[in-house]
Amino acid sequence: MSETFFDAREGPRDECGVFGVYAPGHDVSRLAYFALYALQHRGQESAGIATCEGGHITTLRDLGLVSQVFDEQKLSALQGEAAIGHVRYSTTGGAGWENTQPVWRDDGREVALAHNGNLTNAVELYTELKEAHGLGFRGTSDSEIIAALISSSPERTVEDAVVGAMQRLEGAFSTVVMTKHAVVAFRDPHGVRPLSLGRLGEHFVVASESCAFDIIGADLLREVNPGEMVSLSAKGLEVRQAVKPQRTSFCVFEQIYFSRPDSRLEGRVVQQVRGRMGEILWREAPVAADLVIAVPDSGNPAAAGFSRASGIPKDDGLIKNRYVARTFIQPGQELRKHGLRLKFNPLPEIIAGRRVVVVDDSIVRGNTTRQIVGMLRDAGAEEVHLRISAPPIRNPCHYGVDMSTREEMIAHRRTVDEIAEHVDADSLAYLSLEGVYEAIGTPAEDHCDACFTGRYPLGDNGSGNSKFALEEIETIPAGR
């Protein structure tokens, strides 16, 4: 597939989703397919599944959504006792086919690997593996670097090879790797990106989020601990603390936006956490209004909480087209003038003549928000008040989320009043960081909130490690 991906949303891009299962006697490719279907929100650029049958690994991956990449015929060709899967939004390396996952390598040990996160030392490792060890790379993603470290390891078992690789990796990584004998999942020592362990009958599964377990009938056991490795094989479940855990730095934006509302993180259902954010947002920033509406779908839980706490009724003032935003077809010049109406359509019968509170999870560049305010005014809204269930985003993420550059962010060097004026809102208020953590119910020191505060907990602000850093290495002339 060579079509250009079109997405009407300008906010932070979902990163990636991973899944792994070792379950002889089960249709593992179908389990992987439906698990990835549940994780589709984490990445829409590409999808892939690898299976192992009788010591032979087969990988199928392509650009597109899960339902576009796989059909009954393709799934029937992916048989075996184990499977891993991946949905991708690119955060290191471009969106071309060569960077789709699972990655397959055989540098002495045959592996397939799927990864969510971002290595902050990717350039260093890539250069070392190419120049010192003579390893070749098909793509330019940091996922292939992890696969190369494990595949080329002289260690006897894949578990020992993973431990050795984890000791070399810096940054965020929640990863599953499959060999001929096992599926091994591991999480970085800071626990930046999510990874959960579940049970499927007498077998075990791993996934980025627990919503993947629900769709296949598995039960959530717990989250994989920072620095921990879990191995699924004929031996059952084996757990090892592979590297010493560091200061826990779980991405707070998983709670605010990335994870599905029905997933369970840090012991709580995300839907409830986001609803509580809306309630606290009302307490911190009340406003006289007639109607609460959400920017669907990510603003729905907070809008419901805001309405509950305030007593202001909530209705669907913006209707979302859930299909156009994930099309690979560009709208063309004639339709482009309609802008955001390709994704959202306001209802004048609900909005006209009313003071409206619009609840959303974030504002990044502000272009979409300005268009939404304009559409609501055109639909007859008397006043438009914006309430955002997160603090202002002022800094890019270097741990697995593709955001705008700092200079592109609307909150960069602007006050809240200046942002409100820029998007033409009658008022604007953000949820405080203290309010975010009150809603989550876990300490601030257990999270990464660098996108709000600029404090990067992994000791590296990621400068010089851009999304296309490995492509840039390949284009540098020899001798420089």
Helix axes 142-151, 158-166, angle to 10 degrees: 130
Beta bridge partners of 358: 293, 386
Q: What is the spatial distance between Cα 300 and Cα 314, in angstroms, rounded to a whole number?
A: 10
- Which amino acid does the sequence have at 339? G
Asked if 81 contacts 21 with a C-beta cutoff of 8 angstroms, the reply is no
Please give the order of strands across the beta sheet that includes 56-63: 56-63, 46-53, 82-88, 16-22, 203-207, 196-200, 219-223
Q: Which residues pair with 231 in a beta bridge?
A: 184, 238
- Residue 459 CB contacts under 8 Å (≥ 6 apart), including other chains: none
Q: Is-catalytic flag, 16? A: yes
Q: CB atoms < 10 A from the CB of 413, how many?
A: 10
Enclosing H/E stretch for 264: strand 264-265
Beta bridge mates, 16: 88
Sheet with 182-187, edge to edge strand ranges:
103-106, 110-119, 171-178, 182-187, 228-233, 236-241
Give me 194's structure tokens. Answer: 């999510």
d(CA 6, CA 25): 40
Q: How far apart are CA 480 and CA 475, in angstroms?
A: 11
Alpha carbon separation from 352 to 147, 296, 299, 357 (Å, rounded): 56, 19, 21, 13
Residue 420 CA to residue 181 CA, distance in Å, equals: 57
- Structure-token pair, residue 171: 């940054």
Pairing of strands 182-187, 110-119: unpaired
For 198-317, where are the alpha helices, taking DSSP H only?
211-216, 252-253, 270-284, 300-310
Instruction: For residue 375, give Cα distances in angstroms to 69, 324, 467.
Output: 36, 18, 34
Exposed/middle/buried for residue 156 (C-beta within 10 Å: 0-12, 13-18, 19+): exposed
Annotated active-site residue in 16, 52, 211, 448: 16
On whether the CB atoms of residues 172 and 193 are closer than 8 A, the answer is yes
User: What CA–CA distance (Å, rounded) separates 59 from 113?
Assistant: 10
Catalytic residue positions, numbered: 16
